[in-house]
Amino acid sequence: MRRVAQVVHVRPEKVDEYHGADLAADLALTAADPATREWWRRTAPCRHPVEEAAPGVWWTSTTRVLLME
């Protein structure tokens, strides 16, 4: 098996992420999007939660370990 890791730079003006007022509502809109749901269906077999994840939670926040500038 060949494993590959890749990174990409993020444009500085795009670094700040969420700017909404209601994260739960915005996440619900994302989950209702047909293209997003199809992407999740296709990629679900390729991933699994980390051991530290809460039961039923796919994505877990982490702290930054390295920053190269």
Claim: this prediction has a pTM higher than 0.85: no
pLDDT in tens, 11-49: 888 877 778 899 899 999 999 999 999 999 998 888 888
Amino acid at 24: A
Contact 49, 58 (CB under 8 A): yes
Q: In Å, what is the CA distance from 44 to each residue of 16, 18, 51, 69?
A: 27, 24, 17, 33
